[in-house]
Structure 1
Amino acid sequence: MTLLIKICGLSTPESIDTAIEAGADLIAFNFHPRSPRYVELDRAAALAAHARGRVETVALVVNAGDDALSAIRSAVEPDSWQFHGQETPERVRDVRAVWGLPVMKAIGVSGPADLAALASFAPVADRLLLDAKPPKDAAYPGGHGQPFDWRVLSALPPHRPFMLSGGLTPENVGEAIRLVRGFGVNLLGVDVSSGVESAPGIKDPDRIRAFVAAAREAEGAR
Structure 2
Amino acid sequence: MPATAKICGLSTPETLQAALGGGASHVGFIFFPPSPRHVSFDTAAALGTRVPAHVGKVGVFVDPDDALLDAAIAAAGLNVLQLHKTTPERAAQIRQRTGQEVWAAVAIKTRADLDTARTFRDAADRILYDAKTPEKATLPGGMGVRFDWALLDGFRHPLPWALSGGLDTSNVGEAIARTGARLVDVSSGVETGPGVKDRTKIVAFLKAVAQA
Does TM, scored on the shorter chain, surpass 0.5? Answer: yes
- Residue 61 (structure 2) aligns with: 61
Q: Distance in 2 between matches of 1:211 and 1:110?
A: 24
Q: Verify: 1:7 aligned to 2:13, yes or no.
A: no
CA distance in 2, matches of 1:213, 1:42: 31
Return the offset for 1:130: 0.1
Aligned-pair CA distance for 1:159: 6.8
Instruction: Tell me if the contact between 1:133 and 1:143 (Cα under 8 Å) persists in the aligned partners.
Output: no
Bigger relative contact order (CA 8 A; separation at least 6): 2
- Are the equivalent residues in 2 in contact too, given 1:41–1:75 (CA < 8 A)? yes
After TM superposition, the runs of 4+ consecutive aligned structure 1 residues lying more than 4 A away are: none
Aligned to 2:155: 156
**Unaligned residue ranges in structure 1 (runs of 5+):** 182-186
Shift in alpha-carbon separation, 1:141–1:158, aligned structure 2, 3 A: closer
Letter in 1 for 2:51: A
Cα 1:36–1:158 shift into 2, 3 Å: closer
Q: Provide, for residues 114-142 of structure 1, a one-character-per-residue CA deviation record: whole Å limited to 9, x for no partner.
A: 00011111222111100001111211101
Secondary structure of 2:169's counterpart equals: coil
Cα distance in 1 for partners of 2:63, 2:24 equals 27
Distance in 1 (alpha carbons) for counterparts of 2:51 and 2:126: 21
1:38-70: per-residue Cα shift (whole Å, max 9, x none)? 001111111111224252110001011011111
Encode CA deviations 1:84-130: one digit per residue, 9 max, x unaligned: 12x11111111111111100111000010000011111222111100
Residue 171 of structure 2 is matched in structure 1 by 172
Alignment of 1:128-207 (within 5 A): 128-142=127-141, 144-157=143-156, 160-181=159-180, 187-207=181-201
Q: Do the aligned residues in 2 keep the contact of 1:112 with 1:155 (CA within 8 Å)?
A: no
Q: Is the 8 A contact 2:106 2:116 kept in 1?
A: yes
Name the counterpart of 1:95: 94
How many residue pairs align between the two structures? 212
- Alignment-derived partner of residue 111 in structure 1: 110
Q: What's 2:80 paired with? A: 80
Deviations 1:159-183 (A, max 9, x none): 74310000000000011111112xx
Shift of 1:4: 2.5
Displacement of 1:77: 1.6
- Cα distance in 1 between the residues matched to 2:157 and 2:46: 40
Give the % identical residues: 43
Alpha-carbon distance in 1 for matches of 2:160, 2:2: 13
Which whole-Å deviations, capped at 9, do the CAs of 1:184-207 have from their partners, x for residues lacking one? xxx231000000001111111111
Please, what is the CA RMSD of the aligned residues?
1.4
Q: TM-score, normalised by structure 2?
A: 0.95
Over 3 Å counting, the alpha-carbon distance change for 1:53 and 1:158 in structure 2 is closer
Q: Which residue identity is paired with 2:14?
A: E
Question: Residue type of the partner of 2:139?
Answer: Y
